[in-house]
Every structure is written in C-alpha cells, then in structure tokens.
Structure 1
Amino acid sequence: MSNAFDFPGGIHPPERKQRSNQATLIDAPLPGRVTLPLQQHSGQPATPCVAPGDTVKVGSVIAQREGMISSHLHASISGTVREVSTTQIIIDSDGQDEWNRLPSIDWQRAAPNALFERLNESGIVGLGGAGFPTHIKARVVERHTIHTLVINAAECEPYITADDLTLRHYASDVLEGAQIIAKLCGAQHIVIGIEDNKPEAIEALRQAIQKSQPITVELKVISTRYPSGGERQLIKRLLDLNVPSGGLPADVGVLCHNPGTLLAILHAVRDGQPLVSRVVTLTGEAISQPGNRWVRLGTSIKELLEQVGLDHTALHQVIQGGPMMGAPLLTLDTPVTKLTNCLIAATIVELPPAPVESPCIRCGECESVCPVSLLPQQLHWYARANDDAKMERYHLFDCIECGACSYVCPSHIPLVVDYREAKSRIRLQRIETAKAEYAKHRFEFRQARLAREEAEKQARKEARKSQQRRTPTSAVASSEKVDLRGLRIAHAAAKASVKKAEKTLARVAQEDPKQPLDDLEMQLATAQENLKAAESQLAQAKEQQAASAPSQSEESS
C-alpha cells in the first residue's frame, strides 16, 4: 500500500458493496420508451431541436446546449419523438437500435480545439454526481496551470460499485481517456486514487498502467474511509495539497475526473459515441438480482428495477445515489439520467427512517468527524437562527455535505439539511447582490462613455478654434491624454469584471448543479459586452492620439 497523507475526521459506515460487486457488468434490456429530461447537468437546461413525429437514431442531437454552462442531449434509442415539452423529450423505440456516430478522432495527432469541440458535441458531463459539463472543465487550462490529473476512483460511499466494475472491465480505456484530458489541460502527471477495498480493480489498473502512454501514471492505494472520494480530501491524501477555502482544485494545479467520465471521453473521441448510456449500480435488499448495468439514459427506473427482481411488498424506499449523499425518490416514474450512478431499493430494516430529532447535547462528535475541520454545531445554531453572516464567517461553503456529522449525531439532527437550506438562501442573496453590482457597473460605464463623447466634442470644437487662430493645439493634446488614461482605467475595470463573473459562474455551477444560472450568465454576457466596448474605445483613442502626434510636431517646429 502506498504512503498517503491524510485529512481530518471521516467515518467508517457499513460498506454494503458485496451485493452489487459480485456479478459481471452487463447491458440492461433496451427500453421501449425513454424520457429524457432537458436538465441533466449543471447550468442551463438544453433547448429542444426536434419536434413530435421526428425520426431519430441513437446519438442524434435532440436538444442543444443553452448558455455558457450547459450540455447537448442525444437520443438514447432509435425511433420516433413522441413528445417535446419545456422539461423533457419522450422517444418511442423502433426496436432497431440504429446509431448516428461521429467520425473517429486520432487524439494523439488532433489539435486541442478539435478535441474540445468533440467533448462539447458529445454532451459529456461529470458522471460522479455533479454533472458539470466536461467541455467547460477541460478548458480550465485557459485560466489555470495544471500539473496533475487525478483519477478519482475512491468510490467511498456505501453501496455504490459503478466505478469499481468500470475499472475491472475497462481499465485501459479509462487510462486512455485520462491521457486525452491530460493532453488538453497540460498535466504532466496522472495519479489514480483508489481505496483498498477494490482488489480486482486495483489489479486491472496495475496491468493497464504498464501499457499506458505517453504520460506516466501512478497508482496510489489508500485505506478505506468515508469521504475519501471528496475532491479536496483525495487531493490531500494523494498530493498533500490543500485546496483553499472557496477555491477549486485548479487553484492548486490539479484537475479531478472519475473513471466513468474518462471512459465516456474515450468513447466520444475514439468511437464517435455521444453520452447516451452509463453504468448504474442496482442494489438493495428489495431486489433479487443486484449488480451493475449499462443503462440507456431515459430508461424508466421502475421498469429497470423490476427487471432485476424488485419486490414491491418489501420495498421501503428507493435512493438515487448513495445512502450518505443521495436522495430518496418520491416516485419510481422517473428516468435514469446522466447523474444516476446508483439506485438502492431498500427495505425498512435495511435503511430505517431516522429517529425523531432531539436537542443538541453539545457532545462534539460532529466536529471530530468533519473532513473539512468545520464546527458543525455552531453552523447548526446559526442556520436555525438565519444568521448568514456568521455562517459565512465559519466557512459554510467549505462544507461538502458528506453527511458524516448527521451520521454520528446522537440527537439525530439533520445537520446537512440545515446547511443546504442556508447555502441556497445565501446563494440567492449573492446573485441579487451581483445583479445590483453589474447594474451599477453598467450605469457607471454609460456615464463614462457620455463624458468621453462630450470631451471629444469639446476637443474637436477647440481644435477648430485653434486651427482658425493658427495656434498650437497643446490644450487639445492634453485633453486627449487625460481621456486616454481614463479609457485605460475603464478597460482594466471591465476586464476584471469579466474574470470575476467567470469565476462566480464556475464556482456556483460546481457547488450546486441545480442552482439556476440565468442571472449569472446574463451578468457575464454584459461584462463581456462592456469589455469589448472598452477595448474598441481604447483602440480608437490610441489611433486618434497617434494621428494627432505628427500634426502637433509640425506646429511646434
């Protein structure tokens, strides 16, 4: 076992992975109908580009990305479009499973822009749960210097074994997908972080690493502890780097991807296959045939679970995701999406309801297990008191919502629920504040433009008077210099506003995939327009100054 650094806290809940990691990875039956939500990723929902009655093939684009942070959506079966609404597209299968693939790309010889575009048109998002568009994440090199690509194979949450089975069957392909991303982001080092409870996947990786090229790959096996799969926690354990509060892994030169995403990247580049299916763990004591399946996006969860022996009489609840960070489904009449990595059909004995909450006894257990060294007890009190200022002072947004604090709480307080509600409230306040700031910026920019135009008007007037009197135009030149300096200041401010808007948009999209981003994208677009206007005005002022310099020299002589 490789030496590893460490993060504070963490817990050891029952793993319960044995039920689903014993069977081989197989394809789920082709669905007769799929329901494809337009929102399967962070950011803006995709916009439909098909109509009822249209014939589609597997891989046909049925909805296009909308805005900066969004993702294309593709048909996952061949057939006829049955329904198009503002939230979803329904397709009836023709049973033929005909494909519409993109041309294959030799990634080792292809230009980076061709690879960026392929990721964009393939609709790939992070399959670890966040759903952040991969084509946006790959462009991190435009703003950061990346030295290490981390393959996050920890899969630390109980029940989930999708990455484990993916690595057992496709270790070489996952590493090739990692080589593609390393090429795009400029990483010179690839590190795999995997927990020691996946011996078969570890062995498959060791064999694949011997053939991997051109960038060397290092495998680091770490002890099993939840939540080692958190990006910050894994980066600390593997590289002994601390992602700053409020920052991203890219701030310390690291990019993280999970195995499923890297496999999808290779399929898109090498095979021309858009993201139309994913590996899903099907487990829980209310089904008789647990395991992992390749499932077409849009497949009915109810039908999928019934295919693996769902016992409706024993079923208590179905959790999408893991038991720590997942969410119970209110209905089984919902489809598999790009974000569905696990479905747990649990009995009431297996995952009983939480006991009734009782008052906090200040035992400090929550603090001892927090992997980010927060003070969950204080955050809980401030959340219930709506004291947002103190919550931010105590670094609420560093919370990764892992649920470790709720898991050990003897009073059974739903701490993570409190934190989520507080985060949502504060984010909305931030967006409103940002909107006010950009409105102020637009007003100030307009005032500066009007002042510049008035100054130019006065300068032209003075120039005409000077020409009539045949006197030097030093006063005009002086005003132009002052104006040029002001334009440079305005240009620098506009440039800073664009960078701030980009960073805010990326952070919010990664922190909360379900957060509406309409206002932030509008603010970024406005800032970009202001920057273009400032650049144009500055260039014109420089040309005017250059043109006036010879005439001033002639007059002085």
Structure 2
Amino acid sequence: MSSAFDFPGGIYPPERKVRSSQAGLIDAPLPSRVVLPLRQHSGQAATACVAPGDSVKVGSLIAKREGLISSNLHASISGTVIEVNASHITIESDGKDEWQRLPRLDWCDADREALLERLRESGIAGLGGAGFPTHVKAQTVEQQGVHTLVINAAECEPYITADDATLRHYASEVLEGAQIMAKLCGAQRIIIGIEDNKPEAIEALTRALPFSLPLNAELKVIPTRYPSGGERQLIKRLLNIEVPSQGLPTDVGVLCHNPGTLLATLHAVRDGQPLIARVVTLTGDAITQPGNQWVRLGTSIAELLTQAGLEQQRLYKVIQGGPMMGKPLATLDTPVTKLTNCLIASTIEELPPAPAEAPCIRCGECESVCPAALLPQQLHWYARAQDDAKMERYRLFDCIECGACSYVCPSHIPLVEDYRQAKTRLRQQRIETMKAEHAKHRFEFRQARLAREEAEKQARREARQAQHRRSSTPSAPSSEKVDLRGLRIAHAAAKASVKKAEKTLARVAQEDPKQPLDDLEMQLATAQENLHAAELQLANARAQQPTDSPAPAPSKESS
C-alpha cells in the first residue's frame, strides 16, 4: 500500500546500496578480543561491575546503567576481563563462546512492568544511530496516549542496508518485536513505513503480515527520497500528522522504532539474550567484500574491515554511519558499538573532499530542499553572527541535521556544521538557566525543611508539656495536626518534582541524544534525595504522634 501524503523538500543523492545488499547476511568472525566502551548510548556512561581477572560468558553483565538515561552493558564474548578503566572494558576471548542468558519470558502473558524490567536488564538502545535507551523510551510514553507504533524501515540514507538485510531475513521476528513494543506503549495499530527501493524486504514483510497477531500491522510503501527516514517526515508521509515544533512523536500519539531495535527487543524477551551484537553494513569502494554482517560489540573496526577485504592503498577515509549524517573516523583503532550501523571505506574518487567555501549567492536552493520547511540561508547568517534570539525565532531546533541544504549548496558552505555549533551554544545557555532555577529550588526546599524541623520541635515540646500536665483533652495538639498536614504537602511536592525532573531529562535526551545530560541527571538525583528526606520526615512525624490520642481523620493529602 502506498502513502498519499508528503513532506516538503528532500533530495535524491546516489543510493549506492546495491553492493552491500547483494550479499547475504553473515556472521562476522568471532573476535579474539573486544573493547567495550562504557558509553554506547545517550546519557550517562554505565558503571563497570567487573574487575581484571574475572571470567565472563557471552551475556554476562559487566557494567550497570547509571542514572535515568543510561543502559546496561554485557560481555559480547566469553573469556577473561583483562582491563577495566574509566572509559572501557577489555575482554580476552577463551574461544568457547559460552552463553549466559536471562530467563525466557512469554510476552503475551507477561505484564508491562516485567517487560520493562527485561528491557532495562538487556541494555537495548536505539539501533538506528541515536542510541537512546529503549527502556526509557518505553516507560516515558506511559502517560502519552500512544495510538500508533511506526516501524521506521525507510533507511533513506545512501549506502546503509542494515535494516533492509534485517527485514529480508527476520521479517516475522521484527513484527513480533513490534507486537511487544505495541503492548508496552498501548498502541492499537502498527504501521511499517518502507521506501520502494527495497523490493525483497517488502516481499518478506508481505509474506509475514498475515501472521502478525494479535495486532494487525499495515505496510505502507513510500517513494524513495531523502530524508524520508526522519521521524517527523515519516509520520507526515504515513499518517499526515504534523509533529509540533520542538515536539516529539509521542506528543501526537506516535512512537517510532527501527527494525533492528525491535528484533533486539524480541531476542531479549523471548530468548533472554541481551544486546551483544548488531547488524553492520560494510561497504565502500575500498573493500572487496561488501555486505551486512552480525558483528559482536567491541570488535575492532580495523580487523572487521580487513576481513572484508580492505585495500589500504585505495582507502581515503572511513565513515561511521551514512555519507549525509555520519562522521569520519579519526582512527580505525576503535570498536564497533551499539551505534555502529554502517562503515563506509571510501576511495578519494568515491567521496572526494569538499571544495573550498565560497560566499553565499542567495540562490535559495537550500530552502527548497529543507524537509523541515526552515530558512537555512537566514539561519546560516544568524549562526555566523551568533544572533541566538533570531535563531530561536527561526526554529533552529527543528533542524534534523540531515545535510540536504549542504548537499545542494553551490557555494559549498558547511551549513549543518554552523547549525550544530549554534545548537551547542544555545543548549549551554539553557543548561545554565536550568542550573540557576535548580539552585533556587534547592534554597527554597532548604528553607522549607528548616521551618518544618522547627515546627516539629515545637510540636514535640507541646506534646511533652501536655503529657506532663496529664491533659484530659482527647485530641492531639492542633500544632501536631498542622505539622502533619504540612509534611504531607511537602511530600507530594517532592514527589511531583521527581516526576518533573524525570520528564525533563527524558525529553531533552530524546530531542538530542548526543548532548551531555550531567546537569539534568544531577537535578533528578537532588529531587530524589529531597523526596527521600520528605518521606523520612513524614514517617517520623507519624511515629511521634501521642499514643493516647486517636489517629487524625484521613485527609485528601494522605490519599
């Protein structure tokens, strides 16, 4: 079924997918050593829970998530831990490939919390490139009213065919993973959006769809155009729904996941298999054996490309990701991570260096191709002038950094780089504002805490005096009642602050998974500490009520 809707702009760069899509999906050779970075996801790095000399199996937990936006990390080979430092864990293989799996779950019978806990345990992050922890995405949609789960199978960027290969070989499993995610988010329907340049994947999905129970899934084939895989653009093409400016798909009742993430979700739930490998596209004119491979996390990129027939004398650069949004690697002495969906080993003829930048000629080409309907030319000028107010006004943060404007610019201006630098500057300003607000809240909370403690002391003094006088009044002192009511209100406020901090942190992390979140994590930790203190104060006050007086009547605050 085709989609009748559309988004503005877009471009048609050379696809260059044929070389890697012609070969079958194979397993990469088992590495003799893996280096596993503790940060393979957006948010805080995981904290190592193993030491040098420890023996591990495939799937053993080696680093625990830290904070709200974080993800567990597991051993991808069996062997011995030989190094643990602040950035990574190194494991030497024993060649046995012995596994340690979690208990299997029947997702049809499992409740929502059991499924969420399995995602937390399994260390799954978004495999489309953003790396947002999947369990956080699942738990933050609880109150959003999600009605549609979109399987983002567009894979619109040139060269990359990892999702295509996944769907060709695991269409039924991806759909089952989508059923699990739909159950988690409460979606009533599933829509698969895929570009028409993937005929084998479309055929595999068409065969699998009749068996996608209990929820029926609908396949929508869309014309190939970059960047159809952007969440806003895909939702517009499939559902004709506009995601609001600086909003998220969940704001309009939609949740997006790519096929690799859904397959990993099924493996975690049904098979008890944590995320220890992923499908990686190996391509580019500087390798002789392009294709897609299941690669263990932590595998050396240099070794992986060498095994794929890397011609070192022809190699110009290696790009991790696609040519539009990916990044050139400074060194091949780096490991495959959860974020590595594609490695392009290019020659200089294939992806030549950009020509020197020339002055803007105001041709308007950048505006005509922008998929977010922005004004790239004006944003460029304001970014260079550091006119932050104007950039906010011209919706800088709606830019998805797809690179379409830079691609068509006849002056070869690095527009996207300008926008990234401006976003970084604006985010820093927002963080400073939030830190100031956070400091104000901490001061106010401290003042309120001191006032409550003084009220508690006064209440205890009055209670002791009343007992000393052997008062015949049956009710508790009025000051005690007032104190309890105030503590209940403070407890409710502290609880609301924690929820607000969690929501803010999750939203900011989803808007830009690459930005640092330390300050927001600290604000959440402080809110949690305040809540714990409020709970203790309330419990102590209840315990100190006079035993010879009846319990106060229930109030709205305690319900």
Per the normalisation by structure 1, the TM-score is 0.92
- What's the offset of the Cα at 1:387? 2.1
Between 427-436 and 149-158, the greater mean CA deviation after superposition: 427-436
Which position in structure 1 is the counterpart of 2:26?
A: 26
- What's the offset of the Cα at 1:494? 3.9
Asked if the contact 2:38–2:63 (Cα under 8 Å) also holds between the matched residues in 1, the reply is: yes
- What's the offset of the Cα at 1:508? 2.6
Which position in structure 2 is the counterpart of 1:268?
A: 268
Which whole-Å deviations, capped at 9, do the CAs of 1:72-126 have from their partners, x for residues lacking one? 1111111222211111111111222111122211111122222212111111111
Which whole-Å deviations, capped at 9, do the CAs of 1:496-536 have from their partners, x for residues lacking one? 53343223211232233333322211101212333454566
In 1: Cα distance, 2:527 partner to 2:551 partner: 33
Which position in structure 2 is the counterpart of 1:204?
A: 204
Between 155-164 and 80-89, the greater mean CA deviation after superposition: 80-89
Cα 1:129–1:541 change in 2 (3 A) is same
Q: Are positions 1:90 and 2:90 aligned together?
A: yes
Between 385-394 and 22-31, the greater mean CA deviation after superposition: 385-394
Asked if the contact 2:5–2:236 (Cα under 8 Å) also holds between the matched residues in 1, the reply is: yes
Which position in structure 1 is the counterpart of 2:441?
A: 441
Asked if the contact 1:56–1:79 (Cα under 8 Å) also holds between the matched residues in 2, the reply is: yes
Cα 1:56–1:471 change in 2 (3 A) is closer
State how 1:146-161 maps to structure 2 within 5 Å.
146-161=146-161
Which position in structure 2 is the counterpart of 1:333?
A: 333
Amino acid at match of 1:233: Q
- What's the offset of the Cα at 1:353? 0.4
Cα 1:98–1:454 change in 2 (3 A) is closer
In 2: Cα distance, 1:526 partner to 1:377 partner: 42
Amino acid at match of 2:276: V
Unaligned runs of at least 5 residues, structure 1: 552-557
In 2: Cα distance, 1:194 partner to 1:495 partner: 42
- What's the offset of the Cα at 1:307? 1.0
Which position in structure 1 is the counterpart of 2:239?
A: 239
State how 1:384-463 maps to structure 2 within 5 Å.
384-455=384-455
Amino acid at match of 2:376: P
3-state SS in 2 of match to 1:97: coil
Q: Are positions 1:45 and 2:30 aligned together?
A: no
Which position in structure 1 is the counterpart of 2:103?
A: 103
In 1: Cα distance, 2:227 partner to 2:373 partner: 13
Q: Are positions 1:63 and 2:54 aligned together?
A: no
3-state SS in 2 of match to 1:142: coil
In 1: Cα distance, 2:23 partner to 2:78 partner: 29
Q: Are positions 1:2 and 2:10 aligned together?
A: no
In 1: Cα distance, 2:551 partner to 2:298 partner: 67
3-state SS in 2 of match to 1:3: coil
Cα 1:549–1:28 change in 2 (3 A) is closer
3-state SS in 2 of match to 1:121: helix
Between 282-291 and 99-108, the greater mean CA deviation after superposition: 99-108
Which position in structure 1 is the counterpart of 2:515?
A: 515
- What's the offset of the Cα at 1:450? 2.4
Which position in structure 2 is the counterpart of 1:554?
A: none
Q: Are positions 1:74 and 2:74 aligned together?
A: yes
In 1: Cα distance, 2:249 partner to 2:540 partner: 40
Cα 1:241–1:539 change in 2 (3 A) is farther
In 2: Cα distance, 1:334 partner to 1:453 partner: 55
Alpha-carbon RMSD across the aligned residues, in angstroms, is 2.7
Which whole-Å deviations, capped at 9, do the CAs of 1:120-143 have from their partners, x for residues lacking one? 111111100011111111113433
Asked if the contact 2:456–2:541 (Cα under 8 Å) also holds between the matched residues in 1, the reply is: no
3-state SS in 1 of match to 2:62: strand
Between 50-59 and 485-494, the greater mean CA deviation after superposition: 485-494
Which whole-Å deviations, capped at 9, do the CAs of 1:223-264 have from their partners, x for residues lacking one? 111111111111111112222222211111111110001111
Which position in structure 2 is the counterpart of 1:555?
A: none
3-state SS in 1 of match to 2:19: coil
State how 1:281-292 maps to structure 2 within 5 Å.
281-292=281-292
- What's the offset of the Cα at 1:538? 7.0
In 2: Cα distance, 1:276 partner to 1:471 partner: 70
Between 291-300 and 529-538, the greater mean CA deviation after superposition: 529-538
Which position in structure 2 is the counterpart of 1:306?
A: 306
Q: How many aligned positions are there?
A: 549
Asked if the contact 1:140–1:185 (Cα under 8 Å) also holds between the matched residues in 2, the reply is: no
State how 1:108-123 maps to structure 2 within 5 Å.
108-123=108-123
Q: Are positions 1:173 and 2:173 aligned together?
A: yes
Cα 1:372–1:414 change in 2 (3 A) is same
Amino acid at match of 1:375: L
In 2: Cα distance, 1:166 partner to 1:217 partner: 17
Asked if the contact 1:83–1:90 (Cα under 8 Å) also holds between the matched residues in 2, the reply is: yes
Which position in structure 1 is the counterpart of 2:557?
A: none
In 2: Cα distance, 1:458 partner to 1:20 partner: 76
In 2: Cα distance, 1:341 partner to 1:383 partner: 31
Cα 1:115–1:458 change in 2 (3 A) is closer
Q: Are positions 1:342 and 2:342 aligned together?
A: yes
- What's the offset of the Cα at 1:389? 2.4
Per the normalisation by structure 2, the TM-score is 0.91
In 2: Cα distance, 1:141 partner to 1:360 partner: 43
Which position in structure 2 is the counterpart of 1:497?
A: 497
- What's the offset of the Cα at 1:57? 1.3
In 2: Cα distance, 1:387 partner to 1:376 partner: 14
In 2: Cα distance, 1:539 partner to 1:312 partner: 68
Between 531-540 and 294-303, the greater mean CA deviation after superposition: 531-540
Unaligned runs of at least 5 residues, structure 2: 554-559
3-state SS in 2 of match to 1:34: strand
- Identity of matched residues, %: 79
3-state SS in 1 of match to 2:282: strand
Cα 1:86–1:364 change in 2 (3 A) is same
3-state SS in 2 of match to 1:98: coil
3-state SS in 2 of match to 1:210: helix
Asked if the contact 1:140–1:250 (Cα under 8 Å) also holds between the matched residues in 2, the reply is: no
Which position in structure 1 is the counterpart of 2:556?
A: none
In 2: Cα distance, 1:11 partner to 1:32 partner: 43
Which position in structure 2 is the counterpart of 1:506?
A: 506
Cα 1:102–1:452 change in 2 (3 A) is closer
Which whole-Å deviations, capped at 9, do the CAs of 1:122-175 have from their partners, x for residues lacking one? 111110001111111111343322111110000000000000010000000000
